[in-house]
Structure 1
Amino acid sequence: MAPFLRILGIETSCDETAAAVVERDADGRSTVLSDVVLSQLDEHSVYGGVVPEIAARAHVEALDTLIEEALKRANVSLAEVDAIAATSGPGLIGGLLVGLMTGKAIARASGKPLYAINHLEGHALTARLTDGLAFPYLMLLVSGGHTQLILVRGVGEYERWGTTIDDALGEAFDKTAKLLGLPYPGGPAVEGAAKNGNPERFSFPRPLVGEARLDFSFSGLKTAVRQAAMAIAPLTQQDVADICASFQHAISRTLKDRIGRGLQRFKLEFPEVGEMPALVVAGGVAANLELRTTLQALCDSNGFRFIAPPLHLCTDNAVMIAWAGLERMATGVEPDELDVQPRSRWPLDANATALIGHGRRGAKA
């Protein structure tokens, strides 16, 4: 039986500064004692995207106060915490440095062990916190920086089945919004405009649909949106709504094909899982209700359980970082040395072939 454990989590990989305290009892039951997130949306929206230097400075200014607030809300002292978990990558290197160095300092000063957490592992394991999900299961990670279909075999055991060969889905949403004059962040803006649009007006491409491999591609779709907008410029409000609706529709149909093939592969490779294997969706784009509806229907038709954690746990947060640390502690994974370094690129599946962005910093995907 695993011991009672309590962890302080720190997340600073992009433009949210976050701290949380999560505990796990001897029977494996978990409790989120505090969850504090400070968004930098106002600082970056004027630029139409995240500015790394601004993000790093904002983390420096806010993190100490947020950690203090997380401990206060959890009604625990630092002495009552068993370990520190801090995001070590992937992400913006300035933000990662702030969070990881803070975690190191707290660990050194308090004598607590430090766990340097892969941000993507936090997403991968969240469904075990919220739904008590057993291994193995599939995870679709859709965010501003990643679009991946990952087999989650166990803590520290991940196999990438598919990834984007160009743009991440969140990036495609943001760039489409910017092209159409919609505000940042692009995902909610495009979704909002699409509610009043005609999804059949424009026939946008569905890259890689029909191919056996499970990868994704969104750059061609983004280009098609630009060409359609230029062809009918100047755009009316209805034109923008129709483009957004057609764009979302193309993505939904693409995911239906790509993920559908992944579900079938899972059934073939893991027949022992039983009648209701699970597909988990995580990342900021998981907040899109049309995409959730598409994935829910797809799971229903394929005999899968569809799990979408609460929206505040789909976007960047420290709860998932603390939980990933707890999972590693409970399975006997040794803590990290205090000379561990942040990694702006850190694929969850270290054995997967690099498709894009391979260089000094490693493979992006």
Structure 2
Amino acid sequence: MTLDKLLDTTHSANTYHPLLKSIETTSSYELVLALSLHADPNLPWCSLENANLVKSIMSNFDYQPYIPQLIRHFKSSSKRIQRTALNKHISLGEENLGVISQAWFLVDYAYTQEICILAMLLVVDVLTTYSVPGKIQGFKLLSHLPELHHPLLPQVRSAASKCLVHVPPITPIAHSLPLLEEAYHWVYKLNQTTPDYIQTIATILSTINTPARPFLLQQLSKYTRRVSTDVFISTSKIFYALNNILVSLDITPEEVALALTIQNDIINLNHKFVLTYAYDFIGAWSILSRRHPGKFADQLKRNISSLQKLANNNDIDTLCTYIAI
């Protein structure tokens, strides 16, 4: 009866805690199946305490004879793998978070390259078809893997990149930020080429005027530093977005600091091409300084100094005197 109750994952973690504590470790496949649904501490019906109980129970009996049957169950009832000469894809049908816990469990107790591949294929499907909470769990499963199967990395990157559009109003900010934090972390990690990073920067710029702006500015700073001088491919759009942010009426001090820092980082790449935007910088900085007298003086002085050093031009020096610092 206890095992039957553990198979029903519609309750809170508190419901399952006494059930897990009361389990007698008489080895059986049914026990392994039930425990596999409570191994991932991140899922709604799970907890770290319950996951630790699962570990304790698993350490008290020989579960290896039941692992092959659990893997077969994982394959047959939770997913369908379509194989062609060129790709592999998992289709899960309706959303099922339980399969994520089973994948987590198999990573812990039966890890092989096959399990790695199955888990990554599962992640690809979760990231492309599940709800926002499900996608977050998919990323957590990805982080749980001790290694990644390299041939599947392009599929995972593509699926992760699709999560970057979940900004308000498409997704409420309370759900958007946790997903974006996971997605941007993994996209950064999985990007392989400069065009990959430039593509991600374009996505940031297309979504930056949303309530997620502080976080997206942090990401823009991270990504522009990563591409270094290759950022000049996108400077027009980057500077346009940053200058608009600096002169907006609803900007926060954090956003000002981030926008000015990104501008300064790019100016300090010491490429004369940046001077194309010198007058735009000065105009935005002048408006910012007069709208918020003295508030951002140190940051503005830093940017002005960098621009003057790059320009080495009397006209630029004169125009900078109109910035109220």
Q: TM-score range by the shorter chain?
A: under 0.3
More strand by share: 1
Whose helix proportion is higher, 1 or 2? Answer: 2
After TM superposition, the score normalised by the length of structure 1 is: 0.22
Tell me which of the two structures has the higher relative contact order, counting C-alpha pairs closer than 8 angstroms and 6 or more residues apart.
1
